Structure 1
């Protein structure tokens, strides 16, 4: 599927930006311009089922490999930098050898969805369509007003079938067995998706890890300055 994209800047260096579930390219509304200011042409996608991109026929069309294949179909290979958040980090990892960026950054990646009674459940996401602005503010007290607006709109237009499409993959290690490219994993504090034992495994697999102190899962919106600082040396 050819995805909808948004571009900031016109630099010779290319940066690819891939958002997480329920979001779209607007999650990068500050990151894209910041990278453009550093000489990049920053290209952000809307994943299938999100934003202005097409929808799959049903949950089966939202397997992780589908997201990865869409990235390869849509984005240029050989970019200077690729950044993927959460589900976008999973999609990027599955596409990274084909996209072949010089460096990859995975922001609190969803490489292993917990199974069991307290594990991954689609309604944890689909219920977000019922949240009010005040609910979103309560869960994300550090977000700017514009990010609250963006969240409400992106969740409203998001295809909730995508949450059900991930159910068959819960409990499986979907992450890379090695860092195929020079790779940074940026973590929330604490990270619910990459606990300490998992972080040690990633180090053994060749990933550099950095934690943004006090930041929630959507680090780029929770602590933009901390997010950009954590990218130093990678951009």
Structure 2
């Protein structure tokens, strides 16, 4: 597998946003945005699959996550994540494809549908809809909060906790891959994100995720601009239940849909083969002769 090339975007307030690219920097980009509590490393296999197909694959660490800086002001609003990504995109060829999982999906909605309309050529939402299932969201929150302060004595403890949370996924035999999501302090391991992001102490938390109408309005704007959109759901997801997906697709029938068998909320990690194929097929369907992507503009999407 090729080695990603890191690059850094400086944001106001001195916050450094770290990203990786695979493939030719002159090629059009597919930009992968991770979920809350994850890092850009979660997209490693998906990014490699896209780079092999001739795209420039870019993975981004959100502020407060991975190797990007934490916000001294506690600014973890979704719109701020979107502003960070907008500045990252300024270093890439115009009109990339946005692929956003969970928090990354919300960020894609606000970036392409509110903050900078026309910035993306296509949007892929990975196991996220504006009106997500509250019980699934609570389960994810509880997982992130548990052991956030106390940490872990070993990587084996981390693997055990992940296996309990994701019983459908085989427990990893090589635990070194977990290091990308953890920090070592003293003799213990801690999750690789700013606790303010999830523990309720941030001055500006990501409150937009609790405003489905704002997100639906952003989705309607993206579709009105003729931007193709795909929803990829994990078939056993508890965040985007079947009825929540059906509700979203009934509201926005222009959105294409793929249900990935055997995958939960972490779709790309659970079944990267099916996930990558679904994204590539979607992009191929919407390819134009000039290399751009597009779909029929819906003049009056439901909002």
TM-score category, normalised to shorter length: 0.7 to 0.9
Structure 1's 150 and 82: CA in aligned 2 closer, same or farther, altered over 3 A?
Answer: farther
User: Could you tell me the TM-score, scaled by structure 2's length?
Assistant: 0.67
Show the counterpart of 2:178. 149
Show the counterpart of 2:99. 83
Q: Secondary structure at the match of 1:3?
A: strand
- Largest Rg, 1 or 2: 2
Residue 169 of structure 1: how far off its partner (Å): 4.5
Show structure 1 runs of 5+ residues with no match.
none
Residue 199 of structure 1: how far off its partner (Å): 1.8
On the 8 A contact 1:4/1:53 being kept in 2, the answer is yes
Structure 1 counterpart of 2:53, from 30, 33, 38: 38
Indicate whether 1:92 and 2:108 are aligned. Answer: yes
Indicate whether 1:162 and 2:197 are aligned. Answer: yes
Indicate whether 1:219 and 2:267 are aligned. Answer: yes
Q: Secondary structure at the match of 1:16?
A: strand
Mapping for residues 37-186 of structure 1, pairs under 5 Å? 37-57=52-72, 59=74, 61-76=75-90, 78-97=94-113, 98=116, 100-109=119-128, 111-112=130-131, 119=138, 122-129=141-148, 130=151, 132-140=158-166, 141-142=169-170, 144=172, 145=174, 149-150=178-179, 152-153=181-182, 156-163=191-198, 164=200, 165=202, 166=205, 168-169=207-208, 171-173=210-212, 174-177=214-217, 178=220, 179-180=222-223, 181-186=227-232
Residue 54 of structure 1: how far off its partner (Å): 1.5
Partner deviation per Cα, 1:109-158 (whole Å, 9 max, x = no partner): 26345559x94785441215345222223333336546851564276221
Q: Secondary structure at the match of 1:210?
A: strand
Indicate whether 1:21 and 2:36 are aligned. Answer: yes
On the 8 A contact 1:108/1:194 being kept in 2, the answer is yes
Residue 211 of structure 1: how far off its partner (Å): 0.8
Residue 233 of structure 1: how far off its partner (Å): 2.1
User: Could you tell me the TM-score, scaled by structure 1's length?
Assistant: 0.85
**Separation in structure 1 between the aligned mates of residue 238 and residue 279 of structure 2, nearest angstrom:** 21
Show structure 2 runs of 5+ residues with no match.
1-10, 152-156, 184-189, 284-303
Once superposed, what is the RMSD of the aligned Cα atoms? 2.8
Structure 1's 197 and 136: CA in aligned 2 closer, same or farther, altered over 3 A?
Answer: closer
Q: Secondary structure at the match of 1:5?
A: strand
Structure 1's 81 and 121: CA in aligned 2 closer, same or farther, altered over 3 A?
Answer: closer
